[in-house]
């Protein structure tokens, strides 16, 4: 029997999540919207990724973070769930760091993607 799985994340900032999905060229819809599941079941989420098979992926606020909500039996992405979440989380962290740093007067002076897929950022702040 299929059902919704809820996978906890450390994602807490909705604008950074949306920017991360944009970076990954993932077509998403802003909510609250219904995530479609097995036998017409739905779950409300703030971000919904519609899949061609009629079963969606969502990010729903649980009071502390945005958890991934989906019926994993009908997962139809190019990569497995773990890898998908890893890519989203990396881009989310990037946007969170850049945005928080900018609020404190820093700007990115150097950015490099390493062979292992990690990103090296150098931030600087000028003081008068």
- List alpha helices for 6-111, DSSP H: 14-23, 81-103
Give the span between the Cα atoms of 113 and 89, in whole angstroms: 15
Question: How many residues in total does the chain contain?
Answer: 128
The DSSP secondary structure of 71-84, one letter per residue, reads -GGG--SSS-HHHH
- Do the beta carbons of residue 13 and residue 64 sit within 8 Å? no
Measure the CA–CA gap between 83 and 94, rounded to whole angstroms: 17
Residues 48, 33 contacting (CB under 8 angstroms): yes
Q: Mean pLDDT in each 10-residue stretch from start to end of the chain (128 residues)? A: 85 96 96 92 95 95 96 91 95 94 90 88 83
Look up the pTM and report it.
0.87
DSSP class of residue 39 equals G
Q: Given this model, what pLDDT does residue 2 score?
A: 57
């Amino acid at each position: 029997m299929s059902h919704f799985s809820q996978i906890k994340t450390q994602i807490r900032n909705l604008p950074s999540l949306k920017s991360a999905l944009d970076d990954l060229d993932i077509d998403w819809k802003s909510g609250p919207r219904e995530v479609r599941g097995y036998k017409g079941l739905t779950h409300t989420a703030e971000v919904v990724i519609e899949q061609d098979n009629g079963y969606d992926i969502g990010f729903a606020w649980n009071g502390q973070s945005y958890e991934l909500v989906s019926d994993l039996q009908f997962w139809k992405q190019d990569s497995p769930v773990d890898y998908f979440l890893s890519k989203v989380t990396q881009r989310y962290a990037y946007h969170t760091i850049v945005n928080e740093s900018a609020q404190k007067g820093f700007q990115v002076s150097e950015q490099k993607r390493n062979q292992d897929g990690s990103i090296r950022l150098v931030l600087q702040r000028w003081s008068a």
